[in-house]
């Protein structure tokens, strides 16, 4: 039929930068493969399910007034028995898979203003938009392509290359081996003289012998190409040692012709750098078998839904499985999903983090998407899982690391997730419904001056603890350590040099320690498994013996000021180090700062770490970074954090922005001043201190928190953990193990991306992040 809405519609075409959500509903995980397909709004290009239990397409239409949608349904073609092999890949690239060979696509336009009736096809005012949607790149794919893309450009050294001449003794027969050693792989051809040198030596001893870079240092010949990666299309791995970066050689064929190399006759025989990096991640896999070799049983159901790997997204998937295995998170977002979708005022559900939290919870806990596939003999195999693409785009929006497709640190993502949840829960004034409250507890910091023997106690809010591991070398590796030993080190006294004692009125020696003032419902524990080796953070392969049964933390509870102890006088400086004035900018070793920056740490953290550790070297500074990475002010510059904060100008727009999140205006203005006017740093501080603790004085902070249940209960059980396999935080693979149920009815399950299996014997010894639940 042709309705009035269709005849009078004035539709716009989506531009190349317009996200088009055509493969999956933005509010659930129904997609083109379901019986009803997906409806794409022809006005705003939102994707919605047109049937099933949700019918989000109709709901979106009624809320937005956008009545016309394009329904897209995909049906798999019968598999072909052809023995034809796919074309050989000559380079790593991302191409849009149209699915034309594997699927049939059925489309039609419907009008929700006319009860979902079909609209006549071919209307001149509608058909151009329909065709644009059909040929548009799916929003999630566009995001992934953008995140994966690494723009490699030419530099002046390739463009201006001159003076090419084969060196004495050069011949094509010399291209198979390094000119300075017997290496026959990872060879780089100097485009100036034709010297062949092997690649760089890796930190584990593998790779080459540095003869390529040695040749550059001796001759100044800076541009080279990797032999074995040259393709007939004229592409290859190229490197400029002067720029110290991968580059493109736009004149590769001409440059190689000088040495008698015909590009058209070349065949790629070695993997490119990008392919090698991808292979490294694909090699990592956790055993899906038991100790006796039996395969672990694949499972599926509510709470047992796998998450597809989006490309180095295992760090996110493992954290999400543990977090949404916590009752408070499940109960906040799963049963309330329908109510939220009905009342949400955000125009684009894909860009609303609350919508995506509800969508993810529904996907994980409804059981609707947890279906085991079968093999050719009808035996159950693993499930396909759901792809958290829109969730990742929303939670990582504009974040300089998590918005990329690179591997990230799982614990840092947990902290980022908590911050984002705080922000969105504030925006809806949900009060105690914020599920992050399960992580909240307080620590008791005790400081004692060794000169006057007086003490100071301070209670600080916290959401996690970071435990050191003890290195006890054996002939091979390190001896195991217990969880209790790690806790003993964390709570032990440590010396403080140069403490400016307000009683002694001079620099003295002091000791400080940190204990629990109260306990959370769920305690998140990071084990610091990474240390600096050859200026690179590498993982410590040390087993930490963690009980699966009850764990008591009573021995680590703070007791507050004790009889006979005298409190130190109050002063503006309550830290364990002298204040830094505006005239006392931190003096740091720039060489060490540069080494830390080269590892990927932000400069603010590098400068602060080198300053705090007294310029004692990169290893001490990196250890400080790992120990303080969850500090609220970790990214506050040292001089800004402690100088003339009360004089900082307050931007009225920043005040309005933060006050709109539910914070008291006076608190907002105070924290903006403390942050030198930086809204992002002020927000971190506002989120790190609950409203009811914001104005705690030092007198009231001497005693532990008064929450009876948190103060009384110190018994916990392990209910989840994230494990990492690989030598570095920048590579490897993460999985999660989560316990569902309680008591004798509890069972453990392992989540390896989309694969979910029953786990009879969980192995937490090599875990990186632990989640302990308090026994109430």
**Active-site annotation, residues:** 314, 733
Cα end-to-end span (Å), the chain: 63
Distances (CA, A) of 534 to 203, 495, 528, 575: 7, 28, 18, 33
CB under 8 Å to 31, separation ≥6 — which residues?
Answer: 23, 24, 25, 38
Encoded tokens for 10: 């004035």
Residues annotated as binding site for Zn(2+)?
Answer: 178, 181, 198, 211
Distance CA 732, CA 285 (A): 9
CB under 8 Å to 426, separation ≥6 — which residues?
Answer: 434, 661, 662, 663
Distance CA 77, CA 654 (A): 55
Encoded tokens for 747: 């069972």
Distance CA 770, CA 776 (A): 19
Query: How many CB atoms within 10 Å of residue 156?
Result: 10
Residue in this structure with the two tokens 């034809």, named with its chain if needed: 84
627 by Cβ neighbours in 10 Å (0-12 / 13-18 / 19+) ranks as middle
CB under 8 Å to 670, separation ≥6 — which residues?
Answer: none
Query: How many CB atoms within 10 Å of residue 458?
Result: 19
Residues annotated as binding site?
Answer: 178, 181, 198, 211
Encoded tokens for 375: 């093999």
Handedness of CA 228, 231, 234, 239 (dihedral sign): negative
Distance CA 344, CA 87 (A): 47
Range 706-730 burial, b when 16+ CB lie within 10 A, else e: eeeebbebbebbbbbbbbbbbbbbb
Distance CA 25, CA 282 (A): 29
CA 583 to chain centre: 38
Angle between helices 603-612 and 618-628 (to 10 degrees): 110
CB under 8 Å to 206, separation ≥6 — which residues?
Answer: none
């Amino acid at each position: 039929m042709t309705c009035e809405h269709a005849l009078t519609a004035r539709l716009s075409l989506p531009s190349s930068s317009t996200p088009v959500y055509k493969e999956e509903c933005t509010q659930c995980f129904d997609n083109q493969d379901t019986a009803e397909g997906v409806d794409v709004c022809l006005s705003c290009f939102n994707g919605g399910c047109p049937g099933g239990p949700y019918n989000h397409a109709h709901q979106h239409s009624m809320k937005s007034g956008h009545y016309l949608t394009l329904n897209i349904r995909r049906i798999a073609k019968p598999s072909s028995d052809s023995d034809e092999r796919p074309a050989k890949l000559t380079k790593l690239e991302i191409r849009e898979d149209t699915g034309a060979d594997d699927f049939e696509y059925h489309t039609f336009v419907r009008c929700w203003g006319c009860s979902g009736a079909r609209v006549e096809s071919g209307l001149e005012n509608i058909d151009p938009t329909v065709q644009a949607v059909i040929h548009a790149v799916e929003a999630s794919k566009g995001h992934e392509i953008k995140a994966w893309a690494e723009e490699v450009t030419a530099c002046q050294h390739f463009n201006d290359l001159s003076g090419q001449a084969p060196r004495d003794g050069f011949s094509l027969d010399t291209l198979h081996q390094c000119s300075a050693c017997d290496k026959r792989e990872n060879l780089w051809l100097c485009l100036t003289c034709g010297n062949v040198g092997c690649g760089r030596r890796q930190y584990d001893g593998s790779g080459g012998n540095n003869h390529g870079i040695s040749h550059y240092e001796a001759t100044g010949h800076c541009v080279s190409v990797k032999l074995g990666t040259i393709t007939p299309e004229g592409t290859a791995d190229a490197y400029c040692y002067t720029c110290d970066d991968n580059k493109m050689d736009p004149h590769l064929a001409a440059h190689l012709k000088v040495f008698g190399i015909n590009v058209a006759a070349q065949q790629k025989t070695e993997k490119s750098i990008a392919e090698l990096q991808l292979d490294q991640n694909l090699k990592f896999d956790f055993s899906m078998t038991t100790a006796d070799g039996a395969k672990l049983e694949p499972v599926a159901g509510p709470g047992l839904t796998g998450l597809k790997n989006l490309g180095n997204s295992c760090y996110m998937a493992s954290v999400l499985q543990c977090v949404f295995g916590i009752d408070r998170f499940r109960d906040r977002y799963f049963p309330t999903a329908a109510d939220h979708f009905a009342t949400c005022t955000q125009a684009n559900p894909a860009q609303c983090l609350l919508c995506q939290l509800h969508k993810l919870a529904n996907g994980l806990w409804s059981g609707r998407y947890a279906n085991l596939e079968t093999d050719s003999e009808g035996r159950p195999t693993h499930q396909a899982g759901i792809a958290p693409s829109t969730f990742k785009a929303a939670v990582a929006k504009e974040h300089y690391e998590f918005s990329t497709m690179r591997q990230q640190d799982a614990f840092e993502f947990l902290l980022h997730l908590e911050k984002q949840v705080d922000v969105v829960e504030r925006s809806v004034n949900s009060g105690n419904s914020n599920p992050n409250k399960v992580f909240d507890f307080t620590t008791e910091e005790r400081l004692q001056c060794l000169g006057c023997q007086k003490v100071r106690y301070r209670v600080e809010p916290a959401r996690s603890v970071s435990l050191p591991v003890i290195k006890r070398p054996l002939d091979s590796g390190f001896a195991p350590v217990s969880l209790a030993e790690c806790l003993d080190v964390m709570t032990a006294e440590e010396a403080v040099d140069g403490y400016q004692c307000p009683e002694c009125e001079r620099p003295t020696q002091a000791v400080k320690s940190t204990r629990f003032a109260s306990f959370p419902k769920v305690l998140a524990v990071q084990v610091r498994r990474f240390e600096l080796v050859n200026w690179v953070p590498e993982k410590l392969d040390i087993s930490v013996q963690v009980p699966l049964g009850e764990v008591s933390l009573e021995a680590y509870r703070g007791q507050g000021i004790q009889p006979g102890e005298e409190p130190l006088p109050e002063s503006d400086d309550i830290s364990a180090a002298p204040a830094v004035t505006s005239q006392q900018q931190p003096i740091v070793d720039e060489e060490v700062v540069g080494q830390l920056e080269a590892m990927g740490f932000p400069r603010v953290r590098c400068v602060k770490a080198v300053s705090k550790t007294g310029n004692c070297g990169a290893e001490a500074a990196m250890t400080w970074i790992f120990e303080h990475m969850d500090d609220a002010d970790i990214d506050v510059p040292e001089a800004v954090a402690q100088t003339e904060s009360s004089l900082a100008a307050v931007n009225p727009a920043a005040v309005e922005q933060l006050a709109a999140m539910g914070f008291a205006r006076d608190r907002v203005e105070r924290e903006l001043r403390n942050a030198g006017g930086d809204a992002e740093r002020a927000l971190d501080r506002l989120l790190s201190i609950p409203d009811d603790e914001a104005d705690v004085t030092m007198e009231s902070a001497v005693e532990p928190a008064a929450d009876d249940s948190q103060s009384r209960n110190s018994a916990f059980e392990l209910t989840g953990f994230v494990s990492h396999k690989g030598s570095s935080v920048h590579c490897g693979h993460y999985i999660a193990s989560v316990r569902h149920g309680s008591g004798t009815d509890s069972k453990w399950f392992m989540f390896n991306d989309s694969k979910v299996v029953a786990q009879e014997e969980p192995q937490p010894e090599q875990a990186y992040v632990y989640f302990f639940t308090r026994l109430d």
